[in-house]
Amino acid sequence: MVAEAERQRAEPIRPTFEDLHQHVERYLDEAQVAEVRRAYTFAETAHRGQSRLTGDPYIIHPLAAAVSCAELKLDVATLKAALLHDVEEDCGISHGELAAAFGEETARLVDGVTKLGTIPWGDRSEAPGAEAVQAENLRKMFIAMAEDVRVVIVKLADRLHNMRTLEPLPAEKRVAVAQETMEIYAPLASRLGIWQLKWELEDLAFRYLDPEQYRRIARLVANRRATRERYVEQLRRKLEDALAAEGLAADVKGRVKNIYSIHQKIRKYAKQGRSFSEIYDLLALRVLVQRKEDCYNALGIVHVLWRPIAGEFDDYIGNPKPNGYQSLHTTVYWQGIRPLEVQIRTREMDREAEYGVAAHWSYKEGDAGRRPDEERIAWLRRLVDWQRDLSGAAEFVETLKADIFQDQVYVFTPKGEVKDLPAGATPLDFAFLIHTEVGYSCVGAKVNGRLVQLSTPLQNGDVVEILTSRTSRGPSRDWLNPALGYLKTQHARVRVRQAFRRQEREENIARGREQMERELRRLNLKLGEIEADLLRIAAHDTLDDLCQAIGRGDLSAHQVALKLATHALADEIPSGSEPLGQPARARDRAVTGVHVLGARNVLTRLANCCGPVSEDPITGYITRGRGVTVHRSDCRSIVNTAEPERIVEVQWGSAPGTHYASQIRIVGWDRVGLVRDVSTILADEDINMVGLRTDESGDGLVTLRMAVEASGVAQLQRVMTKVDAVRGVLSVERAR
């Protein structure tokens, strides 16, 4: 049986049209077979002269994809699309030409399958933007797939042949393509229920990702093949005879696990301290009957024949999986303690299980083809809805891997609707799956009628009820802490982060508006009267955007006000004013340092008491024998001076690269790592810390006084805003 499975996996690498013809003539009429032949002839002519890396004519590739689709008994439009899926990109055939020759439906399918972007699938190139392009390609593929699921079935067939012929690629390319196949395409085939493709894609990918383990398992399977086949044949006959004795017509088959499934089983057993020789359920029996009620009759016969293992029974007929899978699963003991898995289903259920969503596109006599019901691909519709809210293609792919292609648990709403979530998902994940607002207002949950914590992992079959509150203040930041285990799904985490981004924007706007209005009051200006001029000089589209930038620390309100102050009146601001972020250049400023108005070559120095930095409002004070000392205009030494006649007007000069000493006073809760976190922010902002003093108050608070060197007010304000956001910090201000 293993040899037979391996033989099937090995072909057809180089099919001929006769191989395709043998498949399609079994279920298509003569006119449709002729259509398939015409599409093959068109593709063969278009690709003539092109070769693959294997040295084979290029037509071998679309022909192999078409054979895989024919094995699934797909409709004629899909077969034609498989044969033609590369002619647009590789041969320059236009969509219009294809539509004219083979119909709009086929042309549309070809459009959906055509390789997207310029980077091949699985390319892990280090070229700038390569990962982003690849992620965008995957997103486009899933959006196209939601519109017509046949697109991705052809894509899976395309990937299958590429995996069968991967050997000529360089080693690193083989690993990259195999990794993507294992992460994206095999799970996708699983979600669509197309097990034939899933198993082969997994084995082919595993072969390149871990070749040593692949060969080891293949040898172990081969060495014990004869023994297992003898056992399964005995068990098969015994069960078949028991069913016949009860008058139940059934086919009983032995089933071989694929190599990657065995690998997973070995890893599971290794954690339990068990070896490969102790794995007796590598083979399973599958019972095929005619009617649904026969399934339950057969189950009773199996349990009379062999003792069932407690807790190892699943009824996917009464409770089908969201992808439509139906079957009874039970595990029994034979020869004492050896486990044997038995699957029981109708022949129609078996076809659905093997072909998955593809079964709904198969041709039937007198039927132009059925369409997949929406429930089977509800997860896909949901995924496409989510992608509209994600910030980029890379985040979309992470959501895809985290939420769609992990092992699933199936739970119920109180109304009995089945919902699927990644294994380990919590009631809070379930709440966000129902609706974003349900997640935001969630305050508790009941599982199977009992109150549970929101971080409780859900199990198959759980009935989940979400408790909400209209007065809820929204999501908690604890929900994003992975150590607390509230959220498993990427979708829920994205929604929570979006809520905090909105909240932070509103807070930043309010903070920035307050700072801007305070600075403008010093200039005797009102925000509402100069809004247009302010936006023009600050190079922002809206007042909210400007206030957000100020509140976030990207801009200083004082810097904005200083820019305005370089002009006599607001209506004199030129439309071509330079954006903020560069110091304003007044005509009469000195080239460097500080310029004393009305005098030249005057010695100046910065006052230690207030530590003015570039773009602070400043005032000069004539010091006997030491020139002019420059203070901040609000410095107490200036405001309370008894000799106002010694005050002179000064302005900042242009001194690129100059750094100014200043002091920051930080008050916060004393904790391990506080100084480290603040120092990291200073280093990231390229601010030099030249001194540090700490004072502990004894009530759990600590005061940090930092002497720093900054290039100006904007940089100092920005770093103070970031320090203010550090955990445990209560206040940040410039020390006087």
Q: What is the dihedral of CA 419, 200, 174, 222, to 10 degrees?
A: 130
| CA distances from residue 490 to 183, 240, 376, 421, 432 in whole angstroms, order as listed | 16, 47, 22, 11, 11
Alpha helices in 74-185 (DSSP H): 76-84, 87-91, 95-102, 104-113, 130-147, 150-164, 171-180
* Residue 12, preceding peptide bond in cis (omega within 30° of 0): yes
Q: Pick the closest to residue 196 from 169, 167, 156, 237 (CA basis).
A: 156
Query: Is 164 within 8 Å of 294 (Cβ atoms)?
Result: no
> 10 Å Cβ neighbour count for 329?
16
Q: Which long-range contacts (CB under 8 A, 24 or more apart) does 288-291 make?
A: 288/250, 288/251, 288/252, 288/253, 288/345, 288/346, 288/347, 288/350, 289/248, 289/249, 289/250, 289/344, 289/345, 289/346, 289/347, 290/249, 290/346, 290/347, 291/346
Distance CA 225, CA 1 (A): 8
What are 422's strand-pairing partners? 408
- Check if 90 is active-site: yes
Pairing of β 594-596 and β 618-623: unpaired
Distance CA 243, CA 239 (A): 6
Distance CA 677, CA 240 (A): 71
| CA distances from residue 295 to 298, 322, 359, 633 in whole angstroms, order as listed | 5, 20, 21, 90
The amino acid occupying position 24 is: V
For tokens 């198993």, name the residue: 199
For tokens 């370089």, name the residue: 566
> 10 Å Cβ neighbour count for 608?
10
| CA distances from residue 497 to 332, 439, 490, 669 in whole angstroms, order as listed | 47, 12, 10, 26
Phi/psi of residue 62, each to 5°? Answer: -65, -30
Indicate left, alpha or beta for 453 from its phi (over 0: left) and psi (-120 to 50: alpha): beta
- Check if 89 is active-site: yes
Distance of CA 722 to the CA centre of its chain: 28
Q: Which of 11, 29, 89, 241 is catalytic?
A: 89
Distance CA 59, CA 85 (A): 11
Indicate the angle between helix axes 225-245 and 211-223, nearest 10 degrees. 60
The amino acid occupying position 643 is: E
Distance CA 666, CA 628 (A): 31
Alpha helices in 400-440 (DSSP H): 427-434, 436-440
| CA distances from residue 180 to 53, 129, 159, 208, 401 in whole angstroms, order as listed | 20, 18, 10, 12, 11
Q: Which residues contact 589 (CB under 8 A, 6 or more apart)?
A: 595, 651, 652, 653, 654
Report the chain's terminal Cα–Cα distance, integer Å.
85
Question: What residue ranges in 335-487 does DSSP mark as E strands?
Answer: 338-346, 408-412, 418-422, 442-447, 450-452, 464-468
Q: Which of 6, 56, 71, 90 is catalytic?
A: 90
Query: Is 252 within 8 Å of 315 (Cβ atoms)?
Result: no
What are 334's strand-pairing partners? 338
Q: Pick the closest to residue 132 from 385, 489, 391 (CA basis).
A: 391
The residues annotated as belonging to the active site are: 89-90
